[in-house]
Amino acid sequence: MGLSNHLTCRNGLFDVKNRSYLSARSPQQVLVSGFALLIAVGALLLWLPISVTEGRSLSFHDALFTATSAATVTGLVVADTGRHFSLFGQLVLLVLIQAGGIGFMTMTTWFALAFGKKISFKERLILKESFNFQSTEGIVRLIRKVFFYSLVIEAAGTLLFAVHWMADMPAGKALYHGLFHAVSIFNNAGFDLFGGLSSYVGDYFFNTVAMVLIFLGSAGFIVLSDLIDYPASRKLSLHSKVVLSFSGLLLVLGGVVIFIFEYTNELSMGALNDGHKLLASFFQSTSLRSSGTSTVNIESLRQATQFFMVIMMFIGAAPGSTGGGIKVTTFAIMAAAVLAMIRGKEDVDLFRSRISKDLVYKAITVTFIALFLVGSATMALCLVENQPFLSVLFETTSAFGTTGFSAGVTQHLGGFGKTVIILLMIAGRLGPFTIAMALRSKTRKELYRYPEGKIILG
């Protein structure tokens, strides 16, 4: 290789060796391996004695579980974050949450751009896959916006939380707590330093700021970009319309259902006044989009409420966001397809736009793979763990949806159970379709088609 070629290769995001690695693998495979590397490094750092407080220890399996939970912005924990981890360990978690939330490729790309590096077409394909973007056009511009939006939103959340907490703690501690919780909540990670947020169930200021951060994180950066550009463009993309409308619908539905189901439950919200009950209901509903930040004891909720939350967690957040699940757009397409079939319509449409059959097939594929993963994991844990079925289903769905709500099962899991949850969290963060594409061999176009067959349904 000549000197000019060598320099050209080093002008990109990766050096020549990494370029050969990228060219030999699909974007999905690069994403999966990159996340695996991020988790492995995080686990090794959390395993170090410096990461835990004096007199405490953390097994490597628990360190791996915690690193996975942070990198996939889930929030399921096997150790109290505020008490078990030292300042160094908490900062490691913070970096993992940030990298996992906006994406390690986003962070790498931004730093490459900051140093004047060029982004190759292959790298643009990987970025496109990480955000579920439709094309590579404008992807680098979106990355700049993602990084800028994240910093601005997290900085605003940090200041608001810090000012609010300065009345209860020293200014420096309040600022650090504000930073940690702003990053955790915006990235829908669900980690907290208080050992639970039940004391803030009636705190209107905290709940309002947290719900705004959760919504901004779960809506996705594509939607955020559309909303910020709306005053000038006066239009929203079909994607943003679907995300905003269905997310709003699910949020209101969740708040109303939780309020009704838990209104008289003395173990959860029954002792609260009506205003606090309403606030708590809508806060948990907002968190169901993939945050897992809870102001009530999830274990004390009625079984009907927990099962309803399972459905909502399975749906998850929006594509290109910090959340998991099958994604709200997948749910919207499935709902539109069912409605079209009931009405006898040939086309599936949303907001006067026809949805291609490829997208409908992809939505069906994602949903089926997700159901298979959650169902298989639930059966496996029921075989080896002595826990109620609904609690196990709740935990596996929470892991897949990267929600982080817990029915009290995670901390009692054995080695096998924790491994199952680890795999579910990774699958939920990357998406079942991405995992499937990473595992499959190279596609080849079929040179023939079978004759059409008839099967009776219903």
pLDDT tens across 34-76, in order?
A: 788 889 999 999 999 999 998 899 999 999 999 999 998 898 9
Pairwise CA distance, residues 182 & 177, whole Å: 8
Q: CA-to-CA distance for 72 and 75, rounded, in angstroms?
A: 8
Single pTM value for the model: 0.84
309 near 285, Cβ under 8 Å?
no
Would 444 be classed as within a structural domain? no
In the prediction, which pLDDT does 160 show? 96
User: Residue 4: inside a domain, yes or no?
Assistant: no
Q: Cβ distance 277 to 287 under 8 Å?
A: no
454, part of any domain: no
Can you name the residues that pair with 353 across neighbouring β-strands? 350
Per DSSP, what are the bridge partners of residue 85? 52
Closest CA to 332 of 217, 227, 239: 239
Q: Residue 445 falls within a domain, yes or no?
A: no
**Is residue 308 in a domain?**
yes
pLDDT tens for residues 181-210?
999 999 888 899 998 899 999 999 999 999
Residue 2 lies in a domain: no
Torsion of CA 305, 307, 308, 313, to 10 degrees: 120
Q: Which amino acid is at 297?
A: N
Give me the number of domains the chain comprises: 1
Q: What is the pLDDT of residue 395?
A: 95
**What pLDDT is recorded for position 296?**
93
Q: What is the pLDDT of residue 121?
A: 57
Sequence-separated (6 or more) residues with CB below 8 Å from residue 312: 250, 254, 285, 288
- 338 is in which domain, residue-wise? 9-439
Q: What are phi and psi of 349, to 5 degrees?
A: -135, 150
- The reported pLDDT for the residue numbered 26 is 57
Q: How many CA atoms lie within 13 A of 330 on its CB side?
A: 26
**Torsions phi, psi of 353, nearest 5?**
-125, 135
Q: What is the pLDDT of residue 376?
A: 95
Provide the 10 A C-beta neighbour count for residue 393.
Answer: 23
Q: Please tell me the predicted confidence (pLDDT) of residue 10.
A: 43
Q: Which residues of the chain are under the pLDDT cut of 50?
A: 1-17, 19-22
Residue 315 and residue 253 in contact, taking contact as beta carbons nearer than 8 Å: no
